[in-house]
Amino acid sequence: MMKQPLYDAVIIGSGASGGAVAYTLTKAGYKVAMLEKGRLIRREEFSKDELAYCRRDIVTPNLFDEYHVIEQKVDGKWEATPTYDSGWSFWNGNIVGGSSNFMSGMFHRLHPDDFRLKSKYGAIEGANVVDWPISYEDIEPYYTMAENIVGISGHYKPHPFEPPRSTPDFPQPPTQENEVVKLLDRSCRKLGVTSLVTPRAVLSQDRGHRKACYYSNFCGSYGCSSGAKGSSREALLPAALATGNLTLMSNTHVKQLVSESKTHVGYALAVDTITGKEKHIRGRIFIVAAQAHESARLLLNSADKNHPDGLANSSGELGKNLIFSGGGSGQGELHRDALKHISFDALMQTGLFVNRSVLDWYFIDDWLEGKFKGGSVEFMFEHQNIISRALKHNYDGEKLVWGKALGERVVKRFREQKSIRFEIFNDWLPTDDCFVSVDPTHKDKYGMPVGKLRINGHPQDVKVGNYIAKKCEKILEEMGAKNIYSSVSNAPAQNLVAGGCRFGDDPKTSVLNKYCQAHDIPNLFVADASFMPTGGSVAYTWTIYANAFRVADKIVEVLKKSEV
């Protein structure tokens, strides 16, 4: 049998974090193997097929083959339900480039105070809040690096809660905006609220092999057919492959990392998802970047005689303090007969972004409500999926509407109004009752125990979400919207997962050191959002990119030292 090559680094996962590490290491001259469970979908293969991408999940595993077990509290007792029964999928784009292919691309940096949340607000009963072992200043250069390499469009405007920048503005101007922003900005000003242009990982101008956004009207949940979206597949992997130093192994599912000693991982045990054959991939350094809950599951499933409780788990913290994003959403309808300040034809122009964020409530110091960490808000049109929009109108109260009456309702819904939406992002506080373990009684099609996610939000998360939702509803009211509603709960957004491999300075209370290197195993790094002790009040992706570039620089340093 031929001896397997020894790679300088083996990366498990090809999404935002894996792509950033591969980009840096290959450009530094190191030989890298990237193992991705999913297949490669080329740009020209992406479509805007709602049935395929949002109804049949063609880019995620079948839940009867691969699934999770979700534990939630019902009537005071924990109940476990496999996702093949609930239909609740915690898979997020299992293809080359991962979930970065399907993001909406709304990018914000964490605020400096997000790195010292406990110091700023003190302990919160029932929450495991800690300060980060790094500061905003440590990661700011990498935010800038990601901004330029990934490609972020926007316009910087000073704001009390806008993090400081080392550059004056974004590399590209904002994407084109629907005229509804005139109405939104006007309404915000009247209420004393500052609306900001949303930074977006979408090119507004051509750059290299990537074409500018063509405003298809279907962005989030869909792959990009022009290359404008700043996914790992578009922004990072082509450059890494061009070096000749990256071996991309798609359709390769890693079942286990195999240790050769208490302090060294020797190889990845993987299965070819097409042939079913197993193979060993050897490397000097291993980087896990499989998305937070799956990265923790892999390390737990890698338990062996050297690590009986799972790799990098001497602290017992592996899988603990899983976090999502707190908050919720709301919506209102702008009708033709009540629209003001802009024309209805301009409102109905398809494809253009709303592109507005509000940070005014990122930190709350209200004499009536108290002082607490708040959140951010993104404004957008409702998701443009035709089927889901039509389904919202097939009931009149409890009565099913069908036939001609249904047709008339749908036509009116699509031609006489347009819904504007807000999404709230606030901290999901880490608790003892939100973690991932493995369930030996439930196994996937590869025979590996599936991830068992216990999900429980802290009451503070809902309090913050409701506080901000009321503020946002007033903006929609000022805009003249009708049928306004909002919904805030402790049900998580399964596309925003972090934690489980918390980083910190103390090996007794954390899994990783400040460089996301395992305390127990020097040649093991975890580069995805697993490292985050707290999540901040924005979507995670820009921070994932930035931190992965930071981690990659450390890995280069480690590899160089080993050559001496």
Of the listed ranges 87-96, 266-275, 385-394, 515-524, the one predicted with least confidence? 385-394
Distance CA 476, CA 482 (A): 8
In a domain, 221, yes or no: yes
Torsion of CA 140, 143, 144, 148, to 10 degrees: 170
Rounded to the nearest 5 degrees, what angle is found at the Cα of 252, between the Cα atoms of 208 and 237?
Answer: 10
Percentage of the chain exceeding pLDDT 90? 90
Average pLDDT over residues 118-143: 97
220: three-class secondary structure by DSSP:
coil
DSSP state, residue 153: B
Residue 328 has pLDDT above 50, yes or no: yes
Residue 1 has pLDDT above 50, yes or no: no
According to DSSP, the β-strands at 524-526 and 278-288 are: parallel
Distance CA 462, CA 195 (A): 23
Residue 559 has pLDDT above 60, yes or no: yes
Position 526 confidence tier, pLDDT thresholds 50, 70, 90: very high
Nearest Cα residue to 442 out of 297, 292, 291: 297
Q: What type of residue is 459?
A: P
In a domain, 320, yes or no: yes
* Radius of gyration for the alpha carbons in the chain, expressed in angstroms and rounded: 23
Residue partners of 314: CB distance under 8 A and separation at least 6 = 507, 519, 520
In a domain, 202, yes or no: yes
pLDDT given for residue 408 in this prediction: 87
**Average pLDDT over the chain, rounded to whole?**
95
Distance CA 59, CA 41 (A): 9
pLDDT given for residue 412 in this prediction: 87
Q: Find the helix packing angle between 16-27 and 541-563, rounded to 10°.
A: 30
In a domain, 512, yes or no: yes
CB-neighbour burial class of residue 80 (10 A; exposed 0-12, middle 13-18, buried 19+): middle
Count: domains in the chain: 1
In a domain, 77, yes or no: no
pLDDT tens-digit series, residues 11-58: 999 999 999 999 999 999 999 999 999 999 999 999 999 999 988 889
pLDDT tens-digit series, residues 360-403: 999 999 878 888 999 999 999 999 888 888 888 788 888 888 88
Q: Find the helix packing angle between 541-563 and 136-146, rounded to 10°.
A: 100
Residue 3 has pLDDT above 70, yes or no: no
Residue 131 has pLDDT above 70, yes or no: yes
Distance CA 365, CA 43 (A): 47
In a domain, 151, yes or no: yes
Percentage of the chain exceeding pLDDT 70? 99
Residue 228 has pLDDT above 50, yes or no: yes
CATH number at residue 355: 3.50.50.60
371: three-class secondary structure by DSSP:
strand
In a domain, 85, yes or no: no
Average pLDDT over residues 119-143: 97
In a domain, 170, yes or no: no
pLDDT given for residue 564 in this prediction: 58
Q: Domain limits at 516?
A: 6-72+92-163+175-563
